[in-house]
Structures are given as structure tokens and as C-alpha cells.
Amino acid sequence: MEIGLYTFGDLPPGARGPQAARRRLDEVIAAAKLADEAGLSVFGVGEHHRSDYAISSPATVLAAIAAVTKSIRLTSAVTILSSSDPVRVYEEFATVDLISSGRAEIMAGRGAFIESFPLFGLALDDYETLFEDNLGLLLEIRAKERVSFAGRHRAALANAEIAPRPCGDLPIWIAAGGTPASAVRAGRLGLPLNLANIGGSPRQFVPFADLYRRTLAASGHGAKAYRFAVSAHCHVEKDGARAREAFYPHYAAYLRHNLPNRDAGWTVGREDFARLGGPEGALFVGSPAEIVDKILFEHSLFGHSRFLAQIDIGGQPFAMVAETIERLAVDVLPEVRRALTPTTTA
């Protein structure tokens, strides 16, 4: 089991402008450095193209992180591939891979937010076909140094050289929110699959994971090709009740800001918060023992090998973020690995 972190670099409520973005980026880089030193496995950076987020270029931020870390894997979380040029994406992440000595990954998604489409002159009517074309080209580039490709939305390539090349086989994950088509796509292509669950019951996604597993098998990929990850909101402190009390206002602020269809005064209620943070809820908040139990519960459902925690939402002070990083590395990860290690008998 790998345990890692991811962030979108959302700014604190009411904060805007270059100085707020600079401070936020400093915190993101500091969190990645701390996670690397603590022994966590992965650090992911997502993208938004709005003034309330500090990160629009994941590869740029990951390159900065690569320069101050040694071991932690560095991934986008996610690259909105529908509105990105696959050639440029590959070049950028190959560069991150070289800077980091082979630690880069790409997590490719269609994007839950759509601000990048009009910004880059793309039509939302092409949402699906853009992703299909761009993913096909990205995989072709990874497989070959020279590429010929003709899609539906970009100029064709004829024996084009794509450089630089990464240190090794740059991993490409599919990021999904639970749509069956994503499970089928990842299974057909033999790609690892990340499920982002920030609100649904984990049990409801068992058919999604099963569909992915069946499609892998039907497409001729071996059992080892099943690589499934779960990502979720997370906060951990030694005392579970204190963790919930400290996290609630930040979680409520984050949801209030990112659910535009809600009334201006809406907030997540305490009952819903308690339900989401319960033993079988989607929210990972509580003591280390509670987080261990929840990871193991979801492992019994999905058999996943990676858990990614979004730990810095809603304007949390860095001390809260650092506490979660320490608890995940020192208390949670060893217990999860111990529980999942097969026992032998004499």
C-alpha cells in the first residue's frame, strides 16, 4: 500500500492576488518536502484556471518540488487532458522525470471543472472526443520516439520526434469519478485507475472496480495489471474528536466555495459531516486508528494499492497540514502495511 498526498493549491477564503498565490505555493512545496522526508510515497498536484487557485501548471510546480525532494513520486492530480496538448504534456512530464531522476507520473482526466475549455478555445461539445484523441496520442508518444498520428481535433503528426524522453516508462493513470466508461477505458488500455471519492458511499463504487478488473481480464491484461487507487479528503490528529472539530470549519468552507449551486449561506451540516466521516463514509477524518480502519475497509472493497489524501483544503493553517502528514507517515502507513502483509506459519 502506498500512501500519498495531493493538492489543487486552493487559496484561503477571501485571499486573492500574487502574494496569496506565492504564499500558497510555498506551502505546497513545503508540504511535499515534509512528506518526502517522512517517507510517504506520492505527491500529486492538480490544476485549475481560476483566481481562487494558485496552480494552473502542475508540471511547473512538480519541477520545483523535484528539486527539493529525493524519493517521493510526483504526479499530476489531475492533468485535464481534454484541454491540453498531449505533446506538450509529455514533454513537460518527461522533463520533470529527468529532474527527479525517474519519479514523475501523469494522472489524466477529463476534468470535473470546465473553465479550461473556453480559455483554450475548445468546445464543450467535444468533451469526450477530445479526451479520447488526446489520450490515444499521449500513449502513442510514450510508446515511440517518433510519432505519426491523425486525430479529430489537432493537426496531424508525421514521423514527428517527441523529446526529451524520460528516464524510464513514464506511468500514465486514468483519473475518474466513478463513471463506468472510465473503468472500461482504463481496463481496455491496461492503465492504472484512480477513483476520486469525495462524497459517495464507498460501497457504491464496488461495481466500478469490478468492471475495471473484468475489462482488464477481457482485454488480455494479466492480474498484475490491476492497479487501483482511491483519493479522498483527509485530516488526522492523535485525538479523533479534536481532529473532527478542527477540520469541520475548513471542510465546510471548501464545500461552500466549490458547490456553486448552493445558496450563499449553505453549509454542510454536522450530521452530514458525521455521516461522511463515519466508518463507512467517504471522508477520512479522525485519529490514526480510525484512518487505518477506513483504509482497510476500502481495501476489502477494492483491493487498491494506493491511497491519496487531499489534506490542505479550506484555508487550513500549515500546522494542521503538517500534523496530518506526520500522522499518516508515522502512525497510519506502518499499521496499514502491517495489516496487509501476509503472515507465514512454520
Name the residue among 56, 67, 131, 60 with its Cα closest to residue 91.
60
DSSP 342: P
pLDDT tens for residues 168-180? 899 999 999 999 9
Among 58-62, 72-76, 109-113, 160-164, the range scoring the smallest mean pLDDT is 109-113
> H helices of 74-126, where?
86-99, 116-119
Domain at 231, CATH number = 3.20.20.30
> Which range has highest mean pLDDT (121-125, 142-146, 198-202)?
142-146
Q: What is the pLDDT of residue 257?
A: 82
Residue 133 lies in a domain: no
Grid coordinates of 322: 503538517
Among 7-11, 96-100, 264-268, the range scoring the smallest mean pLDDT is 264-268
Q: What is the pLDDT of residue 124?
A: 86
Q: Predicted confidence band at 262 (pLDDT cuts at 50, 70, 90)?
A: low
Per-residue pLDDT, averaged over 154-181, amounts to 96
Domain interval for residue 205: 2-127+166-340
Residue 144 lies in a domain: no
Name the residue among 60, 5, 2, 24 with its Cα closest to residue 308.
5
Residue 220 lies in a domain: yes
Residue 146 lies in a domain: no
Q: What is the pLDDT of residue 133?
A: 96
- Name the average pLDDT for the chain: 94
Grid coordinates of 101: 531522476
Residue 11 lies in a domain: yes
Residue 141 lies in a domain: no
Helix, strand, coil % (nearest 5) of the chain?
50, 15, 35
Phi and psi dihedrals of 195, rounded to 5?
-100, 120
Beta strands in 153-259 (DSSP E): 157-161, 172-176, 193-196, 228-236
Per-residue pLDDT, averaged over 287-291, amounts to 98
Q: What is the pLDDT of residue 344?
A: 61
Angle of CA points 292, 293, 294, to nearest 5°: 90
Q: How far apart are CA 6 and CA 77, in angstroms?
A: 7
Residue 346 lies in a domain: no
Query: How many CB atoms lie under 10 A from the CB of residue 144?
Result: 14
Q: How many domains does the chain have?
A: 1
Q: What is the pLDDT of residue 100?
A: 98
Among 91-95, 128-132, 257-261, the range scoring the smallest mean pLDDT is 257-261
Per-residue pLDDT, averaged over 127-140, amounts to 95
Residue 14 lies in a domain: yes
Q: How far apart are CA 152 and CA 150, in angstroms?
A: 7
